[in-house]
């Protein structure tokens, strides 16, 4: 395998190679997410043919509002999955966050809107910190830990909220879910900012590199000097906080909050992330994929509604999408020689 | 000034050259559950020497290395570097003290490309937005990794964008070696550096070892290939059952004797 390098100055070989390699070869991480673009476009075409209402602005904005929550949840799930973990508690955290925020908003204190938002985010971060504690320090597997917190946090939401529903929040708060900025629905803007930040952190910072490293080959990361527990813990705090944000967005859009919110959202989030190409078993993540995955599932669900397909088909679609997406991912990974757990 | 402080049951000692040893291990014990992997190891390693570490599977060679580099903190015993006691609690610490390790399994993340693996744990960054943010400088890491592997290891790194899992064994090994060389470590530990390589590549690795030695770098080399150990090592340390069974100057021992020592025999009579 020896190569007698040309006697060109050192910088030349490094520059010569990129010119011979195509865009996808220089950015192999984009292969999976970009693979969703054509199916997504096809899907949109098919739905429009069946029911042209799909392309109406009102409908598209509705889809945008609905998928925004899953883009935010998916971003947190992407980070956790990159570390070879999973967070099943995000749906319950959405409920806890929405309930906590609602209580503060209705309490009549001064500055209730910023305080309410802070409380919701803090509730999410707290759940994430607890998850991180069990997983990182007590070494309870993420699947079991977050299965436990999924149940416990749902209970906590009921403790906070009771069986009631709170509604009628201050306008400033409701704007987050129903308002528009430059004509674009607010939830869409929040979601785009979150996913862009997520992409920056995972692709361009040391933090993101270390999260991916502990997910890809933890022993290699540790031997390279990475303090694995810090990044693993942080991933769950991020996931919890973003779930808190999602709860706030949901409560704002509905202008209502109750403890039953967010049921099954964790599965939807996982489906979205895996569909986009992020490895279920860590080491590779794509936020662009999460965004496209959320768009694909959102458009599919919207299509089912527009085609007047009964509601329960949506459950079927999400469930099947998750399993098929994982199967495709595993097949591709094996072909590339990337070992899976 | 330094005593022959490498003690073994058999009393086989070959003292290192005099001066404060680069590394001094005393009484290292490491247990994993009920298994005692290291039973009290005493060893001095002189600055600039090439020490071959041999022994059968399970003798404790890899464990000794991992304890020395902080992957497994010792249960008992002390580690001194350049005369000062050090607490090796994390691989981070070893790097701080100029110790680089090339692991037998190469310690690479399969989904990362080779330059990212090269710089794992010490990524280069460049400022963005006038210094507000620090972004990983992938282009520079790619360039440096490619150059180091080409110039110091003598191999082409191949496609610097492809995941490590898709690269050849030789390319992966070259990056693992280049990574250790780049930091200009004072102590380089190699765990089976020639194991997965072809003949020409094995010679390259031995040349690298000779070059490092000429630069004054201390080297510890674990190897099952006694030919290679005899080719480059100054002393050979034999481990058996978690103990340092014998340490002999390479010039004072034969291959057959080393094989015997590996299997636990005592060397009677002769040179001390």
B73 & B127 share domain:
no
In a domain, B103, yes or no: no
In whole angstroms, give the CA distance from residue A247 to residue A105: 14
Cβ–Cβ of A28/B155 closer than 8 Å?
Answer: no
B4 & B92 share domain:
yes
Cβ–Cβ of A220/B108 closer than 8 Å?
Answer: yes
Within 8 A of B109 by CB-CB distance, chain A residues are 212-213, 216-217, 220-221, 283
B121 at the A interface (CB within 8 A)?
yes
> Which of A2, A11, A23 to mutate to test binding with chain B, by most B CBs within 10 Å of its CB?
A2
Checking if the pLDDT of B73 tops 50, the result is yes
Query: In Å, how far is A173's CA from the nearest CA of chain B?
Result: 31
Checking if the pLDDT of B183 tops 50, the result is yes
Domain boundary among B183, B207, B228: B183
pLDDT of B17 reads 54
Within 8 A of A337 by CB-CB distance, chain B residues are 165-166
pLDDT of B234 reads 96
Q: Which residue is it, tokens 């997910």? A: A215
Checking if the pLDDT of B169 tops 50, the result is yes
Angle at B76 between CA B73 and CA B78, to 5 degrees: 80
Checking if the pLDDT of B11 tops 70, the result is no
pLDDT in tens, chain A (341 residues): 444 444 444 444 444 444 577 888 889 999 889 999 999 999 999 999 999 999 999 999 999 999 999 999 999 999 999 999 999 999 999 999 999 999 999 998 989 999 999 999 999 999 999 999 999 999 999 999 999 999 999 999 999 999 999 999 999 999 999 999 999 999 999 999 999 999 999 999 999 999 999 999 999 999 999 999 999 999 999 999 999 999 999 999 999 999 999 999 999 999 999 999 999 999 999 999 999 999 999 999 999 999 999 988 888 888 898 899 999 888 888 887 775 54
In whole angstroms, give the CA distance from residue A299 to residue B86: 60
pLDDT of B130 reads 82
pLDDT of B155 reads 84
B123 & B6 share domain:
no
pLDDT of B170 reads 85
Stretch B35-52: mean pLDDT: 94
> Which of A216, A231, A286, A329 to mutate to test binding with chain B, by most B CBs within 10 Å of its CB?
A216
B120 at the A interface (CB within 8 A)?
yes
Question: Model-level pTM?
Answer: 0.89
Domain boundary among B130, B156, B183: B183
Which B residues 90-119 touch A at CB under 8 Å?
Answer: 90-92, 95, 101, 103, 107-112, 116-117
pLDDT of A340 reads 55
B170 at the A interface (CB within 8 A)?
yes
B68 & B191 share domain:
yes
Range of the domain at B129: 108-183
In whole angstroms, give the CA distance from residue A34 to residue A204: 20
What are the structural domains of chain A? 13-335 (1.10.3470)
Within 8 A of B124 by CB-CB distance, chain A residues are none
B269 & B193 share domain:
yes
Strands B243-249 and B23-32: unpaired
| A296, A43 Cβ separation under 8 angstroms | yes
More confident residue, B6 or A84: A84
Query: In Å, how far is A235's CA from the nearest CA of chain B?
Result: 18
Q: Which residues contact A41 (CB under 8 A, 6 or more apart)?
A: none
Interface of A with B (CB under 8 A): 1-3, 5, 10-11, 13-14, 17, 21, 25-28, 204-206, 209, 212-213, 216-217, 219-227, 279, 283-284, 336-339
What ipTM score was computed for the predicted complex, to two decimals?
0.87
In whole angstroms, give the CA distance from residue B72 to residue B133: 35
What percent of chain B lies above the pLDDT cut of 70? 92
Cβ–Cβ of A21/B90 closer than 8 Å?
Answer: no
pLDDT of A339 reads 57
B191 & B157 share domain:
no
Give how many domains chain B has, as a whole number: 2
B91 & B218 share domain:
yes
Within 8 A of B200 by CB-CB distance, chain A residues are 2
B146 → closest Cβ in A13, A206, A226: A13
B197 & B272 share domain:
yes
A221 → closest Cβ in B101, B120, B136: B120
- CATH number assigned to the domain comprising residue B49: 3.40.50.300
Residue A126, number of CB atoms within 10 A of its CB: 20
- Closest residue by Cα to residue B149 from B125, B195, B180, B123: B180
Q: Which residue of A has its CA nearest to B69?
A: A223
Checking if the pLDDT of B10 tops 60, the result is no
Q: How confident is the model at residue B7 (pLDDT cuts 50, 70, 90)?
A: very low
Query: What is the three-class DSSP state of B244?
Result: strand
In a domain, B63, yes or no: yes
In whole angstroms, give the CA distance from residue A274 to residue A301: 17
Domain boundary among B183, B214, B239: B183
> Which of B109, B137, B155 to mutate to test binding with chain A, by most A CBs within 10 Å of its CB?
B109
> Which of A11, A12, A14 to mutate to test binding with chain B, by most B CBs within 10 Å of its CB?
A14
A14 → closest Cβ in B109, B143, B200: B143
In whole angstroms, give the CA distance from residue B50 to residue B250: 10
Residue A67, number of CB atoms within 10 A of its CB: 26
Cβ–Cβ of A225/B111 closer than 8 Å?
Answer: no
What percent of chain B lies above the pLDDT cut of 90? 69
């Amino acid at each position: 395998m020896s190569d007698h390098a040309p006697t060109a100055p050192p910088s030349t070989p490094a520059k010569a190679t990129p010119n011979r390699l195509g865009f996808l070869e220089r950015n192999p991480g984009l292969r999976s997410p970009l693979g969703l673009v054509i199916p997504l476009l096809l899907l949109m075409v098919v739905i429009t043919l069946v029911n042209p209402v799909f392309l109406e602005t009102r409908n598209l904005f509705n889809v945008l509002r609905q998928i925004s929550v899953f883009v935010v949840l998916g971003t947190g799930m992407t980070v956790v999955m990159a570390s070879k973990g999973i967070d099943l508690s995000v749906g319950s955290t959405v409920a806890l966050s929405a309930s906590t925020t609602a209580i503060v908003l209705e309490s009549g204190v001064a500055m209730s809107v910023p305080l309410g938002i802070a409380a919701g985010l803090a509730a999410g971060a707290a759940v994430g910190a607890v998850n991180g504690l069990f997983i990182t320090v007590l070494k309870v597997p993420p699947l079991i830990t977050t299965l436990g917190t999924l149940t416990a946090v749902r209970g906590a939401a009921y403790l906070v909220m009771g069986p009631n529903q709170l509604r009628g929040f201050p306008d400033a708060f409701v704007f987050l879910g129903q308002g528009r900025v430059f004509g674009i629905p607010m939830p869409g803007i929040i979601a785009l900012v979150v996913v862009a930040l997520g992409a920056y952190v995972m692709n361009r910072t040391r933090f993101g590199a270390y999260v991916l490293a502990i997910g890809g080959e933890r022993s290699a990361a540790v031997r390279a000097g990475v303090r694995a527990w810090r990044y693993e813990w942080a991933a769950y705090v991020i996931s919890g906080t973003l779930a808190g944000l999602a709860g706030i967005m949901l409560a704002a859009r509905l202008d209502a909050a109750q403890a039953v919110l967010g049921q099954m959202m964790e599965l939807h989030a996982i489906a979205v992330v895996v569909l986009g190409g992020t490895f279920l078993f860590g080491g590779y993540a794509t936020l662009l994929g999460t965004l496209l995955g959320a768009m694909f599932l959102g458009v599919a669900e919207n299509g089912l509604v527009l085609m007047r397909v009964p509601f329960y088909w949506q459950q079927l679609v999400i469930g099947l999408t998750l399993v098929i997406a994982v199967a495709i991912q595993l097949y591709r990974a094996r072909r590339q020689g990337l070992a899976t757990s | 000034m330094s005593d022959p402080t490498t003690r073994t049951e058999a009393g086989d000692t070959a003292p290192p050259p005099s001066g404060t040893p680069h590394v001094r291990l005393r009484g290292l014990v490491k247990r994993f559950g009920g298994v005692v992997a290291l039973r009290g190891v005493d060893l001095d390693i002189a600055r600039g020497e090439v020490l071959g570490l041999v022994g059968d599977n399970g003798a404790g060679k890899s464990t000794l290395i991992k304890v020395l580099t902080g992957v497994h903190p010792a249960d008992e015993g002390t580690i001194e570097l350049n005369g000062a006691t050090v607490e090796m609690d994390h691989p981070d610490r070893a790097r701080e003290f100029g110790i680089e390790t090339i692991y037998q399994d190469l310690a690479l993340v399969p989904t990362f490309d080779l330059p990212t693996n090269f710089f794992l744990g010490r990524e280069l960054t460049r400022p963005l937005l006038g210094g507000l943010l620090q972004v990983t400088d992938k282009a520079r890491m790619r360039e440096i990794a490619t150059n180091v592997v080409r110039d110091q290891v003598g191999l082409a790194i191949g496609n610097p964008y492809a995941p490590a899992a898709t690269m050849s064994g030789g390319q992966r090994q070259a990056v693992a070696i280049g990574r250790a060389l780049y930091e200009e470590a004072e102590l380089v530990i190699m765990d089976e550096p020639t194991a997965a390589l072809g003949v020409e590549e094995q010679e390259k690795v031995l040349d690298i070892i000779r070059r490092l030695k000429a630069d004054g770098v201390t080297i510890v080399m674990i190897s099952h290939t006694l030919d290679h150990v005899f080719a480059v090592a100054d002393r050979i340390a034999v481990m058996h059952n978690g103990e340092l069974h014998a340490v002999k100057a390479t010039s004072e021992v034969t291959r057959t004797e080393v094989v015997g020592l590996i299997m636990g025999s005592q060397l009677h009579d002769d040179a001390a």
